[in-house]
Amino acid sequence: MLPNNIQIIESTLREGEQFVGASFSTEDKIQIAQSLSNFGVEYIELTSPCASPNSLEDCIKIANLNLNSKILTHIRCHLEDAKVALATGVDGIDVVIGTSSYLREFSHRKSISQIIDTATDVLTYIKKQNSAIELRFSTEDSFRSSKTDLIKVYQTINDLNVVDRFGIADTVGIATPDSVYDLVETVRSITDSDIEFHGHNDTGCAIANSYSALTAGATHIDTTVLGIGERNGITSLEGLIARLYAIDPESIRNKYKLHCLHELNQLVADKVEIEIPFNHYITGLTAFTHKAGIHAKAILNNPETYEILNPNDFGLTRYISIAHKLTGWNALQDRASQLGIHIDSDSLKEVTLHIKAMADHKRITLSDVDEILHQWADNNNSSISSMKMN
């Protein structure tokens, strides 16, 4: 079973805009927001309206589309940013401020008590202006911040009673599942509010870290389509979906339109001019491709033997690769029957040896295999008919 009420904060239109290849037009953003909402993510996070004139206009437009997903925007912990964000009509505002010594020293130059004072001013101001707004407060670079500092910051902000959700951000991808568990558990002990986790993927831990956050009591996970974002990005939507589906397929099938995932990936890949990586979760070219004869045999008998994700649930199909030296006679038999060819099992075993030997010498293709199967069947049929004639 999955932890209760997990919600996705889809940040392709915020963190994803920080991907080097991203430059979304208004139309692009609307198209992506509609696809995300149609897929069923609970929240869509948009770039700060203070980033550029278009960011402001687009934020207002998307907030007024009346999508099923709630619309959030993301701002620095500044009063001026808060005023602009409040005027856009979004459902929620995500406020962030850096707490690590790196950011305090080399970015905003504020002490922890100044951070607390500024956050107190900004957050109480926002909630006073609009009590219905969903307000989130997050510390940037949480995992390189002192835990004592973090506890002080979260505790003080929690006591204000104005924040709906606390964010924890692994801004540089340094966290591990253990350190995430530990910090989320600590924040959980401070507040009853929701907790959001945002994890970068510099060392490949983003999905595992997000999952660990959920098990420690987090309620919201940030994702982007294909994981795009600063550097090599954050938890991908597809990776999180795969992780959660593997635990509880039924609730993920009920919650999200899984059939739309591939199209959504292709849409974003096209917009940022990249290919979907071949090994991407669910939608990568090889995600449902099986090769070794031993695997192929079992997959043909029962796909669950080697698949924890059912490609059909995602509107996709599995593929069994047979044109190689690791092939097996069960897979070749399946291919023969797809081609309408009948070959008895003894002959098939011989054909298999022939194909393996051939593949040892050169790269072969499916058409080579098909040709061999046809030839073998023709030869056998002609020898059978010549036997009959004699």
Residues of this chain that interact with Cu ion (CB under 5 A) are 15
The partner in contact with residue 96, picked from ligand HCA, Cu ion, none with C-beta cut-offs of 5 to 8 angstroms by kind, is ligand HCA
Chain residues 286-325 in contact with ligand HCA, contact rule CB under 6 A: none
Among 210, 209, 230, smallest CA distance to 220 is for 210
The partner in contact with residue 101, picked from ligand HCA, Cu ion, none with C-beta cut-offs of 5 to 8 angstroms by kind, is none
Provide CB contacts within 8 A for 74, sequence distance 6+.
11, 14, 45, 46, 47, 48, 93, 94, 96
Query: Is position 15 an interface residue for ligand HCA (rule: CB under 6 A)?
Result: yes
The partner in contact with residue 167, picked from Cu ion, ligand HCA, none with C-beta cut-offs of 5 to 8 angstroms by kind, is ligand HCA
78 vs 200 by CB, closer to ligand HCA: 200
* Residue number closest to Cu ion, CB atom: 15
Query: Is position 230 an interface residue for ligand HCA (rule: CB under 6 A)?
Result: yes
139 vs 265 by CB, closer to ligand HCA: 139
- x/- map, 142-171, ligand HCA, by CB under 6 A: -------------------------x-x-x
* CA within 13 Å, CB half, 377: 16
Instruction: Please tell me which residue in 74, 78, 220, 295 is annotated as part of the active site.
Output: 295
Q: Please provide residue 316's backbone torsions phi and psi, each rounded to the nearest 5 degrees.
A: -120, 170
177: left (phi over 0), alpha (psi -120 to 50) or beta: alpha
The partner in contact with residue 140, picked from Cu ion, ligand HCA, none with C-beta cut-offs of 5 to 8 angstroms by kind, is ligand HCA
Q: How far apart are CA 303 and CA 365, in angstroms?
A: 24
In the complex, the smallest distance separating the C-beta of residue 171 from Cu ion, rounded to whole angstroms, is: 6
- x/- map, 185-214, ligand HCA, by CB under 6 A: -------------x-x--------------
Which CA distances in Å does 281 have to 175, 284, 287? 21, 6, 7
Contact 185, 212 (CB under 8 A): no
For the chain, the helix, strand and coil percentages under 3-state DSSP, each to the nearest 5: 55, 15, 35
Rule CB under 6 A: choose which of 46, 56, 86, 96 binds ligand HCA: 96
Is 295 one of the catalytic residues? yes
Query: Is position 28 an interface residue for ligand HCA (rule: CB under 6 A)?
Result: no
In the complex, the smallest distance separating the C-beta of residue 200 from Cu ion, rounded to whole angstroms, is: 6
Q: How far apart are CA 388 and CA 382, in angstroms?
A: 10
Six token digits for residue 131: 């009590």
Q: How far apart are CA 1 and CA 168, in angstroms?
A: 24
Which CA distances in Å does 218 have to 69, 171, 215? 20, 17, 7
How many chain residues interact with ligand HCA (CB under 6 A)?
13
> Which residues participate in catalysis according to the annotation?
295
Which residue ranges make up the site for ligand HCA (CB under 6 A)? 15, 18, 74, 94, 96, 138, 140, 167, 169, 171, 198, 200, 230
